[in-house]
Amino acid sequence: MTQMQWLGDTDPGALAGLLVLSPALLGLFVYLIRTKWSRKGGVTCTGWVLSLSALALFGVGAISRGTAAFTPSPLFGLSWGVIIMAADFALLLAFGVIGIVIGKPAIVLLAALQAVAVVYLEFGPLHSVADRPAMYMDWLTVIMVMIVSVIGSIVAVYGLPYMKEHEKHAGVPEHLSKRPRFFLTILVFLGAMNGLVLCDNLLWLFFFWEVTTLCSYLLIRHDGTPEATANAFLALWINMLGGVCFAVGMVMLARTVGTISIQGVVEAQARSLNGPIVLIALGLLCVAGFTKAAQMPFQSWLLGAMVAPTPVSALLHSSTMVKAGVYLIARLAPAFYDTGMSGMIAVAGGFTFASAALLAIGQTNAKKVLAYSTISNLGLIISCAGLNTPLSMAAAVMLLIFHAISKALLFMAAGVVEHGIWSRDIEDMQGLVSRMPLTTFVMVIGILSMLLPPFGVLIAKLAAIEASARMPAALLLLVAGSTLTVVFWTKWTGRLLTSDPSVVFPKIEHLHRMYFVPLLLLAVGAVGFSLMVVPLLTQLIVPAVEQYYRSVRTDAPAIIQFDNVLGVPWALVFAALSLAVVLPLLYFRGSRTQRGSVYLCGEQVSDAPATTFRTAAELATPVTVRGHYFERVVGEAIHVRWMTAAATLALALMFGAAFLPR
């Protein structure tokens, strides 16, 4: 077992156990002791344990950029390899049982195919390939643990009041509440994600990978409606299909490279052992990443997941599930460095980035806009991994961090709005600033953090575009996607900030403290990290990426040229934008008198709201103002089929590129 210098005397196996097992154990406590206080105490305690552990690890580990390879000590005399193997078979058996219960033979078949691969690796002639330490910590692991533990914990705490209101609105009596099971699943999800990013042994990683598949299935079908059940099945079979690709890729790597260690595969590829079979195996693992990250043509499962309660959406989109897919591709990127397959991954990710941004323009459902935005931004991260330079990887890591913060903030704010107006329609959010000014303010911060400088998402996009200059196809897609992104965010912002003439003096709405505190933390995080974007890049991300590439690829560029991005005086830009917002407010004076009559091609109804008028038929009709969403130009019905076909072709070309010479 290798000790990391920055961990001091701490056993890294014990730390890994805390990050992985404590959420599951506290989740069992919440499930078994079914009271309000056990639920609140278990979830908040998990949040504190995970957040403090992750922040301590980040505070010293990521900055020193040390590494450690280790295998946890045996538990009650049993090695963790045996425990993981038994749990893996139990999990696959559970998938088979689920397939039988819901009457879906496809699930049984996919579980059986995965089981065959696991049996072959565990008991076949290649069982000795797992002779390296099973877990690995480095700068990327630390960053991912921080994202999962801190942001995931914030989402879990936010879910406490949300799920109570959710069940109350659905008419679920307290004695039939599903909240204990819901929070057990949420907490197991967080522990599984930590396990996933800590694993270097692909067989161990595969177990946690499929635990996240099971958790997402249970969370999506939580409400038990026909739509929720159907969409949960969609998510299950698509992600299990990715699991089969993962399992087959593992077997191929074990046979050709002789190891199922991620670091071992990367080191072998650094020695130019990158024949077509190895690249195809890596391509299968990347396809598994595409399914988990809901990239085209696999995007439908994440869109269907929007039927789940908002905390599930916030968790899936910010710190779990989809982030697992992009993490795996980013982790494997040095192994397919400087290959044709890497270039096709960049194009495939860029295509999803631009296509999902285009489809988002035609959506009126707020959660669907956020879903397409997630799919789009994950495509950008994958494109950066495919570009596969230190600059593009630095941009990918920035996007991982800032997207997680902003998307959690936006989904949680959208959930508060949904419970405030009981609608997800952006058109129903017209003039929301007059009705829910505090929530609107937070939501606008989230939108601006995805859109404007000096927020980290935009700076990362600029770095990604700069890195794509050597690949015209990827450059065109990244520029197009960035442009289309501006359209749907500004349209939504305009709806939120439109004034409602029926509200003269808006009052600050009352927010539950478990809504207010998580939203405040994420809003402060979005602004604070963006103000620190330059030192975050120069002191943490850039040196770590440079060190990582130098350690695995001696022919990689030694220095990241970030001058074109960091040379901009971002502090002055932020100050100017802030003044542009604040100064007009100083001159705003709301009238304290009764508003005057309004003429709108009809007689205003005096004893009704100020937006009500009489039509030609003498009917009292409220004024309605709707935005234009260009459905006939950017609608799903027009574009989804050809986009799915094009994305499928891109993946096929990715495998074909494995046979191209370097």
| pLDDT tens digits for range 601-640 | 566 666 666 667 776 666 777 766 666 777 777 788 888 8
Same domain? For 443 and 311 the reply is no
- The reply to whether 630 falls in a domain is no
Residue 271 CB partners (closer than 8 Å, separation 6+):
none
Consecutive H or E run containing 622 = strand 620-622
Q: Is residue 592 part of a domain?
A: no
Q: Report the C-alpha gap between 339 and 388 in whole angstroms.
A: 10
Residue (of 139, 133, 147, 132) closest to 6 by Cα position: 139
Distance from C-alpha of 14 to C-alpha of 68, rounded to nearest angstrom? 13
Highest mean pLDDT among 14-18, 106-110, 224-228, 252-256: 106-110
> Taking 80 as the threshold, does the pLDDT of residue 481 lie above it?
yes
Residue 609 lies in a domain: no
Is the domain of 502 the same as that of 465?
yes
Give me the mean pLDDT over the 563-588 stretch. 64
Q: What is the mean pLDDT of residues 244-257?
A: 92
Which string of DSSP letters, residue by residue, matches 522-537?
Answer: HHHHHHHHHHTHHHII
- 9 and 110, same domain (yes or no): no
Same domain assignment for residues 501 and 560: yes
Question: What pLDDT, on the 0 to 100 scale, is given for residue 105?
Answer: 93
Q: Does the residue 614 lie in any domain?
A: no
Give yes or no: residues 390 and 510 share one domain: yes
The residues near 194 (Cβ < 8 Å, ≥ 6 apart) are 16, 19, 20, 23, 50, 145, 148, 149
pLDDT tens for each residue of 266-285: 887 766 656 788 999 999 99
pLDDT above 90 as % of the chain = 37
Q: Give the chain's domain count.
A: 3
Q: Which among 175, 199, 223 is the end of a domain?
A: 199
Q: pLDDT tens across 400-445, in order?
A: 999 899 899 999 998 888 888 888 888 888 888 878 888 888 898 8
* pLDDT (average), residues 322-326: 89
292 with 424, same domain: the answer is: no
User: Residue 75: beta bridge partners?
Assistant: 78
CB atoms within 10 A of CB 171: 6
195 and 226 belong to one structural domain: no
Nearest to 202 by CA among 280, 271, 282: 282
Q: How many Cβ atoms from other residues are within 10 Å of residue 572's Cβ?
A: 10
Instruction: Estimate to the nearest angstrom the gap between the alpha carbon of 93 and the chain centroid.
Output: 28
Domain co-membership, 275 together with 397: no
As a whole number of angstroms, the distance between CA 657 and CA 654 comes to: 5
Pair 534, 562: CB distance under 8 Å:
no
Tell me if residue 425 falls in helix, strand or coil: strand
Residue predicted with more confidence, 447 or 633: 447
What pLDDT score was predicted for residue 350?
Answer: 94
**Gap between the Cα atoms of 303 and 38, Å rounded:** 33
Residue 598: pLDDT band with limits 50, 70, 90: very low
Computed over every residue of the chain, the mean pLDDT equals: 83
* pLDDT greater than 60 at residue 589: no
Q: Answer yes or no: do 431 and 466 share one domain.
A: yes
In a domain? residue 165: yes
Q: How far is CA 561 from CA 386, 566, 633, in A?
A: 18, 9, 39
- Are 115 and 123 within 8 A, CB to CB? no
The confidence band for 453, taking pLDDT boundaries of 50, 70 and 90, is confident
Question: Of 149-153, 229-233, 535-539, which range is least confident?
Answer: 535-539
pLDDT tens for residues 488-545? 888 888 888 876 665 555 667 788 888 888 899 999 988 888 777 777 777 778 777 8
Structural domain harbouring 378: 338-587+641-662
Verify that 517 and 660 share a domain, yes or no. yes
* Whether 314 and 253 share a structural domain: yes
Query: What whole-number distance in Å separates Cα of residue 293 and Cα of residue 378?
Result: 7
Count of C-beta atoms within a 10 Å radius of residue 514: 18
Q: How many CB atoms lie within 10 A of CB 536?
A: 19
What contacts 286, CB < 8 A, 6 or more positions away?
328, 329, 332, 345, 654
Under the banding of pLDDT at 50, 70 and 90, the label for residue 574 is low
